[in-house]
Structure 1
């Protein structure tokens, strides 16, 4: 009987030890993964926040201009560029807003007054290429014959401002996803700038 009890006690001890090792290993892996994910989400700096907060209203104004072109432009090429701008920048706005929420930072309200921004001035807002209220009204009031030219001129400057902001993010940002978007903005919008300049010259 004593031998049986001793053997049972030994088996119980071994079983508990193995179970504890297994539990410790599993929880350690889970905790490690959770920590890694948490650290990845937290990797952002002030430049990333500024990029997101400023690019949202910048994109919103580009979409506003593009929507004008869809109904007022006389050139099929201008309408196509406008559609491409809206299709690209709408989803980017949603992504930028999602990042700001994850980072615990405020997103722009979407009610920014264009009149507070100087045309291509790079003033205190830091948003180079933004049109003011008068310029937006002038674009809206242009006749079909002149709309295309004004739209292209304004959108080229607007895109150049976005490229400038994106270059700052590439240089100063920390978040890998934000930097990747900035690089895409530079590539996409520089290509559109080249297209629009060709249309102006034709």
Structure 2
């Protein structure tokens, strides 16, 4: 049975999240560096992705980007005491699930039968992966989890914004251009909202 790269990478993220344990290593080569290596190894570009039509690269890569965000958001309910964060994650998952369906629908409509073109070198993708650690996220609870989730999701959103802004002028179909522009607007609002959340956490409690 043929398994798509997007489905396979998503499965790997879930499997890693389920089995992740904090690693205690001495020296400069352990800890976050090791976790970053694991995160990067899970998501690799499709073969010859850069040779595919640019719009297809955007569709496939943004779909994977959204899958990553959904898996991060799926961890929230069991790891936070914040109802506000739970509600935000639930809303985020619903929106991104809808957008993934749009992206895949356009892929089938205009690029049916073409090999996947997930390109991890598209502008915004390297930034999205910076600081990502499934091990840190899955091993955290309560306020520690809240802060790590917001930091990682903020970075992830900023990568999506850069990808969409860079891609918009190069996209072929008006529907995808509109999608990219709306994504930038929506995720900028979410980044601002998460910044306000962090500010409220830092404020002295009365």
Q: Return the TM-score normalized by structure 1.
A: 0.65
Per-residue deviation, 1:56? 0.7
Deviation (angstroms), 1:174: 1.7
> Equivalent residue for 2:121?
124
Rg larger for: 1
- 1:48 pairs with one of 36, 45, 55: 55
Change (3 A) 1:133 1:199: closer
Q: Partners of 1:59 and 1:123 in 2: how far apart?
A: 13
Instruction: Give 1:95 shift.
Output: 1.2
Cα root mean square deviation, aligned: 2.4
Counterpart for residue 187 of structure 2: 189
Q: Summarize the alignment of residues 88-99 of structure 1 with structure 2, pairs less than 5 Å apart.
A: 88-99=95-106
> Residue 195 and residue 134 in structure 1: after superposition, are their counterparts in 2 closer, same or farther (change >3 A)?
closer
C-alpha deviation, 1:125, in angstroms: 5.5
TM-score normalised by length of structure 2: 0.64
| Structure with the bigger percentage of helix | 1
CA distance in 2, matches of 1:174, 1:190: 24
Structure with bigger RCO (C-alpha 8 Å, 6+ apart):
2
| 1:123 Cα offset (Å) | 6.1
Give the 3-state SS of the residue equivalent to 2:128 in structure 1.
coil
Q: Deviations over 1:79-102 (max 9, x none)?
A: 121111101100111111111112
